[in-house]
Amino acid sequence: MKAKSKLVYGFRISIGLLVLILVLLNGCVHDPFIDPTTLNEGEPNTPGCVTDGNVCFESSVLPIFISSCARSKCHDATSHKEGYTLNNYNNIVRKGISPGNASKSKLYKVLFESGEDRMPPDAPLTQAQKDSIAAWINQGAKNTVNCNCACNPDQFTFALTVKPIINNQCVGCHKPGSLGGNINLADYTSIKAQVTNGKLVGSITHATGFSPMPQGTKLSECEINQIKSWINAGALNN
Ligand code: HEC
């Protein structure tokens, strides 16, 4: 009798430990699936200017995901490698993000892995891009839209305005080694060529006869106007 109860007791402890280990492992491996509206107070998005230090998802974070992750053969809707489609807000927050905690978010951690596990595999994101993603997650991973109110249409030099827009929104798909449509936008001379042939403006204004760029989204009116003003002023390397 005594021996039997010891056996049962031991068996229960082992089962208990096994369940505990499984629960812990599971918690580590999988980020929870998220309903995007829970992050935006029941709404699909959170519109309006962001205040100091807050990151605008639509103009700062989404472009990074689109141009660096949602490329063909990677995390676009067709390929969705490893089950990740990173082409819009709902798909991005669905899996791999722990709102409020960047360091626990798979989609952030992979930016720092080594070898083939580092994302994107061809070239690491810049520190500024990593910082934007971290801040956005730590601020609750909200779908902030129409929030790029700091954009000033009267500022349009190449170095301070045009290049940063193109770096953030286009270069991931238009650089040597990843030349979408065989078009390079990685340096001034190459960009200037697309100005001269009319394709840059045609694509960003989504004009008929051109492929709308960036893929799956549009620059803000203010950014489009900045680029047009820069072109009208001679498209200088200024
Ligand atoms: C997710 C990848 C991706 C992003 C981001 C992207 N492009 Fe493209 N782009 C492509 C691909 C692929 C093509 C070729 C196929 C096509 O025309 O759709 C292309 C084509 C183009 C063309 C040729 C259009 C035409 O009608 O001949 C231009 C110009 C261009 N892109 C500019 C841009 C600019 C400017 C941005 C940023 C504002 C941008 N692209 C962002 C992938 C991308």
pLDDT tens by residue, 41-90: 999 999 999 988 899 999 999 999 999 999 888 999 999 999 999 999 99
Q: Evaluate: CB of 178 within 6 angstroms of ligand 1.
A: no
Measured between alpha carbons, how far is residue 78 from residues 83, 169, 179, 220 in Å?
11, 20, 19, 26
Convert the pLDDT of each residue in 159-215 to its tens digit: 999 999 999 999 999 999 889 999 999 999 999 999 999 999 999 999 999 999 999
Atom of ligand 1 nearest to the CA of 200: 29
As a whole number, mean pLDDT of residues 216-234 equals 95
Q: Evaluate: CB of 211 within 6 angstroms of ligand 1.
A: yes
Residues 96, 74: Cα–Cα separation, whole Å: 16
Q: Evaluate: CB of 214 within 6 angstroms of ligand 1.
A: yes
Query: Which amino acid residue places its CA nearest to atom 2 of ligand 1?
Result: 173
Q: What pLDDT is recorded for position 90?
A: 95
As a whole number, mean pLDDT of residues 133-143 equals 97
Atom of ligand 1 nearest to the CA of 172: 5
Q: How far is CA 206 from the centre of its chain?
A: 22
pLDDT at 10 over 60: yes
Q: Evaluate: CB of 174 within 6 angstroms of ligand 1.
A: yes
pLDDT at 20 over 50: yes
Q: How far is CA 221 from the centre of its chain?
A: 20
pLDDT band at 28 (very low <50, low <70, confident <90, very high): very low
pLDDT at 22 over 90: no
Measured between alpha carbons, how far is residue 38 from residues 59, 94, 107 in Å?
21, 11, 19
